Amino acid sequence: MTVTRLPELFGLLSLVLAVSAIICDTTYCKPPACICPSLNPPGGILPTDAPQFVTLTFDDAIQPASYQVALELLSPRNHNGCQAKGTWFATVQYCNPALAQRWYSAGNEVAGHTFNHIGIPSEAEIVSGKLALVKYGGIPRGKLSGFRTPFLNYTKDTLSILQKDSFQYDSSATALKDDAYWPYTLDNGLANDCWKGICNEPVKLPGLWEIPMHSILDDVGTPHLMDPYLDGNATVVEAWIRNNFDRHYSGGRAPFGLYIHPVHLVNNNASMAMLKSAIAYMASHPDVYFVTNQQLLKYMANPVSKAVLDSQDYMQCLVPSIPTEICNGRDDTGVLGAKIDQGLLETCSFATAAWATCYGCPATEPTAENPTPAPRSVEGSPGFRYAAPDDCDPLYWSPTENKCYCTAETCKYIELSPALKMPVVVSHGSHGSDAAALVRPFMDVKTTLTILGLVSTVFAFVC
């Protein structure tokens, strides 16, 4: 019997209710501001002329072992010579901010996943997670623009919060075959996960994007979403992945995704070898590109044929030229044997965890209620770390020197995203709410299945 884990069960019940209820009129929905859900490439590009994007995403806290897993899976190079890129939906609890900065500095994307990994999160959980990663991970707030809900548990209020707080996109909705859309905006509502009732009560959020998570269908049509390697032996699962990739590649070329909790792959040699083999198979195709979600949305805003994709600015991989080692998540000098940010990181030790940052330790442990406490060091004192200003990408910023090393137009950055503030009413971040968040949608699904006479649909699952 196929095993489908509880958190993804909720997302995959769209198997029985995957009919879009929204109406999107292209007469009024005009790109790039508004994009209708579509199974075909944007801009009228023929599928055979479109690139096949692959998105590798990683969820939860960034820690040394899981970070190494992600690096190994991103070993291929795109056909323009640039390293494959991925997106990490990072929770703050147990996360090492120095690794988040290193991930970003390598050209990857860091996105939000709440502070405490809370299902159906409050605004405080969402905003505090972003504030902490920006503060201690050196991520520009305008580039931390995506979000995925823990357990894929979201409501229309979750999406409304994302729009209110200037997130660019959500990637929590699930897709099968008939609703395996390219990314689209929510100007006319959500076209996926109709079983949640959101399609019947449309959430119209102009400008907010949805990047659907596309399921992997096995030999009998059962969907598998996150961590498919937990649902079968390596040989069988690799065949599923290849077959589903081929379906995307020979069809409308909607982006193909592998959605991973890297903690499951630590010391899991068989699954790692299988995933590397499947990824190498995808990379062997001449028009396949491994991209971040932000790169994907830049393509959606200005779609081009695969023939000219390599020349687009967002597909380049420029290496910063900095004459000295600064605390920015990179090896700036290339000195043999030197470590990234060697001697520049500050280690912060608290009751629940110890972590490192370029941006100075807080006096107290960050929480969802207070994600950026006062610094341990006073401004002007030895060891104080300065935050990057809005006119300097942290990639070029030295927090110890209070200096920006960007001197050319190619590295110029202006922060346009509005400053974030914590909401007045805050969540207490209790993990007890995780269980409540899971129970509520489960009861709704049970009722829905009963009404539709679909109780006989078998979903064997474990937590």
| Pairwise CA distance, residues 169 & 180, whole Å | 17
Which residues face 109 on adjacent strands?
87
Tokens found for residue 403: 């200096």
Question: Is 224:215 a contact under the CB 8 Å cutoff?
Answer: yes
| Pairwise CA distance, residues 222 & 212, whole Å | 18
Angle subtended at Cα 284 by Cα 278 and Cα 287, rounded to the nearest 5 degrees: 115
CB atoms within 10 A of CB 316: 13
Q: What is the pLDDT of residue 337?
A: 66
Q: Could you list the pLDDT tens digit for every one of the 463 residues in the chain?
A: 344 454 345 444 544 444 455 889 999 999 999 999 999 999 999 999 999 999 999 999 999 999 999 999 999 999 999 999 999 999 999 999 999 999 999 999 999 999 999 999 999 999 999 999 999 999 999 999 999 999 999 999 999 999 999 999 999 999 998 999 999 999 999 999 876 677 666 789 999 999 999 999 999 999 999 999 999 999 999 999 999 999 999 999 999 999 999 999 999 999 999 999 999 999 999 999 999 999 999 999 999 999 999 999 999 998 888 999 999 999 998 876 678 999 999 999 999 899 999 999 999 999 999 999 999 999 989 889 999 999 999 999 999 999 999 999 989 999 999 999 999 864 444 443 333 333 333 333 333 333 233 333 323 333 3
- Which pTM was predicted? 0.89
What single string gives the DSSP state of each residue in 439-453?
HHHHHHHHHHHHHTT
Tokens found for residue 432: 């007890």
Angle subtended at Cα 133 by Cα 130 and Cα 134, rounded to the nearest 5 degrees: 85
Q: Is 45 helix (H, G, I), strand (E, B) or coil?
A: coil
Question: Is 429:125 a contact under the CB 8 Å cutoff?
Answer: yes
Q: Is 276 helix (H, G, I), strand (E, B) or coil?
A: helix
User: How far, CA to CA in Å, does 355 sit from each of 62, 97, 112, 261, 360?
Assistant: 11, 7, 19, 20, 11
Which residues face 146 on adjacent strands?
169
Q: What is the pLDDT of residue 424?
A: 82
Quick one: residue 403, left, alpha or beta (phi over 0 = left, psi -120 to 50 = alpha)?
beta
Q: Is 198 helix (H, G, I), strand (E, B) or coil?
A: coil
Which domains does the chain possess?
A: 6-315 (3.20.20.370)
Contacts of 419 (CB under 8 A, 6+ apart): 141
In this structure, the strands spanning 354-357 and 346-349 are antiparallel
Tokens found for residue 145: 């623009």
- If you search the block for the tokens 């502070």, which residue do you land on? 115
